[in-house]
Every structure is written in C-alpha cells, then in structure tokens.
Amino acid sequence: MNQLLYSKLSSLFKVELSLATSIGQIQLDRPVMLASGILGISLDVFNRLYRSGVGAVVTKSLSTEPWEGYPNPTIFSVKGGGWINAVGLSNPGATNFAKMIEPNQDVPIIVSLVGSIPEDFETMIKQFENCKVTAYELNLSCPHVAKVGLEVGDDPELVKKIVTTAKNTTDVPIIAKVGLGTTHYLNTVSAAIDSGIDAITAINTVRAMAIDVETQRPILSNKFGGLSGTPIKPIALRCVYEISSKHDIPIIGCGGISTWEDAVEFFLAGASAIQLGSAVGDNWIDVFNDINNGILQYMKRKNYSSIKEMVGLAKKQ
C-alpha cells in the first residue's frame, strides 16, 4: 500500500495497524488480490500492480498447451453494471508462463491452473518447480469453456482426484476456486476439503449472455460468457457466508468487489482475503490502494488491529 499514508495513519492513531492477513499457510501483507484472468500475462505488469497495492496476483488460468481463446467480441459491458466475458481462457500455456515468472522474487504470485484430468495439474505444477509460487489456485469454475472449469467442478469425484493429485505433487498451498454450476457448489467445496484443499476462492463468473436487439444476434462470439462485477456481489457474498457457516476452511471472497465497504462485507461474511477483477476495468488500478486505505480507516474506527479480528463477525449476530 501507500507507505506514506500507512505510516501517517499509524502515527496519527498511535496503533500498529496492519493489513497483513493469512489464508491458512498463505501469508500476505495486504488482503486485496488481483483475480485470475485480469491483466494476467506479463511479469512487468505484475510488478506494477504490486507497487499499486495488490497483496498477490493470481495469474490467468494456465493450461498444459497455449490457447488462443475465442474470437472477439470476448467482453460485453452490461447496462446497469457488470461485464460478461468469454475470453475462452486464452493463455500462453504453463511452460511459457513458468519461464516468464522465473526471475520473480518480490511479487506474491498465485498460479491459476485449468485442466480436465488430474495429470494435467501434476504436469503443470512440475513446470513451476524453479519459480517462487505463493500458492496454486485450481480453476474448477470457468463457465464458458468445455471440458474444463465448471465441467470439472460439477463432478465432485473428479474434483477429489484432482485435489489429491495436486496435493501429492507439491508442498505449496492449493486453493480451489468454485462457482455456480449444475452441481451445488457446496458439494464441490466438500469434495475439495475431503481431499485436503488448503483454501477456497468463491466465486467465479456466473454463466450469462447478451443479445443485441438491432441486429438480433448474441453479441459474444461464444454466445455464452461469465457475468462478473457488481451484479454478482450479493451472490458471491452469500456463497462466502454459506461456506464459512458450514466449514472451517480459509476463504478468499471474489465477485463484484469494487469498494472498501464491499471488501469489509466479505471479511464479515468469513473471507480472510479478497480478489477483484472487474473493478479494474471500471476504476483502473488505483482501486487497490483506494480499498487498502478504506479498510485501514475502518479498522481504526472500529478499533481492530488486524483483519483477522473481523473475519466472520456477521455470523455471530
């Protein structure tokens, strides 16, 4: 975060305010992460985002081979707020990506992976052996690419195999990212927890579409995409609350967060950290420091010295 403001606030209030948070074994200096798929392909950009206040960057979801993704249009701005995207998980592939981030020392990087069988995840994790990786996030919830993402998350038995394989491949913490599919997402969460998952990210985008009334055609080239941004915030918040009510597992809240109030809501619902993506499109990368600063002021006002003190408070009411 903005070091100057941080020390100013700390001395002004004569307390040791800290934005540090832990998600199980994962320690972060700041609780706001960049969500997967947003600005996620260049180490130079990661460095810039880190200077702009992110606690960690989650990479674009990587596959064993490079993917071009769908043709444009891949993004649509919804009237009334939010975005629908069907980028189609375009990515340079795990091997190329691992080479690119090898020099990284400073930025906490969470590598997001997508695949259809347990071996895919094992192969990819091995590619990152020479890289400093804070955690892996398994994308079990992309709603618009066949055979991966939600189709995997919708099969709890497959989820178990994938999580078990990933856990057996590395000691680095493994996060499962869940979303709304045809199987109740709580079954996916349970399957992941049974297999030893370290944390849960909830939620991914929600399957959606847009049709243009003039030309009478679906706008996205893939017709369907994932809805993100402010319209899904209440849904994501509900999911975080539900998971934290049912399980004792570290949670990362994601979906429609764009202000410090949104962030605090997710902490109160049970999240130890948050991710955001769409808000970058709306407010550019200043959004990270704005949220960090807002959280700090709130903590002071409510007399908290750490994020941990507010995690899950709404469940006690």
Partner 1 sequence: MQRNNNHTTIVTIEKVIDETPTVRTLVFSDDVMSNVLPGQFAMVWIPGVNELPMSVMISKEPGKAAFTVRKHGPASTGLFNILEGQQIGIRGPYGNSFDLKEGKLLLVGGGTGLVPMMRLLTFVKPTDDVTVLIGAKSKDEVFFEDLANNLLENNPHKVIVSTDDGSYGEKGFVTDLVEKLVSKSHFDGVYVCGPEIMMYKTVQSAHSRKMFVQASLERMMKCGVGICGSCCVGEDLVCRDGTVFDGQHLSTNKEFGHFYRNKAGILENY
**Site of interaction with partner 1 (CB under 8 A):** 37-42, 44-45, 47-48, 60, 66-69, 71-77, 79, 83, 85, 87, 90-93, 96, 100, 212, 214-215, 217, 219, 221, 277-278, 280-281, 284-285
Q: What is the CA angle 57-106-12, rounded to 5?
A: 85
> Is residue 276 close enough to count as binding ligand FMN by CB under 6 A?
yes
H or E stretch including 207? strand 206-209
Measured in whole angstroms, the distance separating CA 113 from the mean position of its chain's CA atoms is: 12
User: Within 10 Å of residue 217's Cβ, how many Cβ atoms?
Assistant: 11
Nearer to ligand FMN among residue 30 and residue 177 (C-beta) = 177
User: Within 10 Å of residue 5's Cβ, how many Cβ atoms?
Assistant: 14
Question: Which one of ligand FMN, partner 1, none is in contact with 255 (Cβ closer than 5 to 8 A by kind)?
Answer: ligand FMN
Choices 22-30, 49-57, 164-172, 227-235; region in contact with ligand FMN by CB under 6 A: 227-235
> Is residue 112 close enough to count as binding ligand FMN by CB under 6 A?
yes
- Residue 316 makes CB contacts below 8 A (sequence gap 6+) with none
Tell me the per-residue interface mask from 60 to 99 with ligand FMN, x by CB under 6 A, - otherwise: xx---------------------x-x-x-x----------
DSSP code, position 61 = P
Is 142 annotated in the active site? yes
Cβ–Cβ under 8 Å, residues 242 and 235? no
Cβ–Cβ under 8 Å, residues 255 and 274? no
DSSP secondary structure, 238-306, as one string? HHHHHHHHH----EEEESS--SHHHHHHHHHHT-SEEEESHHHHHHTTHHHHHHHHHHHHHHHHTT-SS
Nearer to ligand FMN among residue 89 and residue 220 (C-beta) = 89
Cβ–Cβ under 8 Å, residues 294 and 262? no
Nearer to ligand FMN among residue 35 and residue 268 (C-beta) = 35
Choices 22-30, 36-44, 216-224, 241-249; region in contact with ligand FMN by CB under 6 A: 36-44
Nearer to ligand FMN among residue 64 and residue 85 (C-beta) = 85
> Is residue 228 close enough to count as binding ligand FMN by CB under 6 A?
yes
Residues that bind ligand FMN (CB under 6 A): 35-38, 60-61, 83, 85, 87, 89, 112, 139, 142, 177, 204-205, 228-229, 232, 254-257, 276-279
Q: Annotated catalytic sites, by residue?
A: 142
